[in-house]
Homo-oligomer: A and B are copies of this chain.
């Protein structure tokens, strides 16, 4: 695409949660969503109706006339898709946390447009708060991507592939692993006919607290205060859940080490 103008049209390869959330937000910001392709034709149709855009019948028939082509395909498909897409001036970006920018170096214009958030069908996310990690193979494209991201969010940063990978790793810890804790708690309580909703205010407060308090200072509980008798009792209660017992033991040991060694 030409040097001076900004990104006015966008197309998507992939039509899942990330594509849909991004496309809706971009359209809301006045950017035209022109075209979509997805191997999941049902998803592609839903996306095309929602965004009122055209559907490519195959990746080779993708028109590629948009200023930007956003790949939201699985990480393992990014290289293949970027090679199958027709030649074009369109900037091709992926939205993957873990994938290096260099996998796209078969293209002329390429970059990364990574929103650091968990997207699901069931919830609308306030995109203006979502951190966007931007990278590009040249300064002009980088500036265009930054400008576009700032139309969506106040939280846009230049982030290298190595930094992005670390953010992705730690995102797995704070998101997937915390959610796994919620899941285990829900199973244990359900198993004992106790309503999981009891824990919701605590879960919210735990997350809100670190807006004000450093996580090292926010820690409380039996491991933090080296309360071995409570830890022992908890472990006994987990006898019927040996896998959860293992998690409890490992995490408690590590928390204790942090504060008592």
Contacts and interface: CB of A to CB of B under 8 A. Distances in A.
Contacts of A209: 118, 120, 122-123, 179
Interface stretch (A63-71, A141-149, A181-189): A181-189
A212 B205 CA distance: 16
A243 interface: yes
A203 interface: yes
Interface residues of A, number: 88
A29 interface: no
A10 to B, nearest CB: 23
Contacts of A248: 172-173
A117 B201 contact: yes
A49 interface: no
B207 A204 contact: yes
A170 B185 contact: yes
B221 A172 contact: yes
B234 A131 contact: no
Interface string A186-226: 10110010100011111111111111111111111111100
A31 interface: no
Nearest to A210: B182
Nearest to A178: B178
Nearest to A128: B201
A233 interface: yes
Contact of A167 (B166, B199, B224): B199
26 contacts: A75-B229, A116-B198, A118-B220, A120-B209, A122-B213, A123-B209, A125-B205, A129-B201, A155-B201, A166-B188, A170-B188, A171-B185, A171-B202, A172-B221, A172-B248, A174-B178, A174-B181, A174-B199, A174-B203, A177-B178, A179-B209, A179-B218, A181-B181, A186-B215, A186-B216, A204-B208
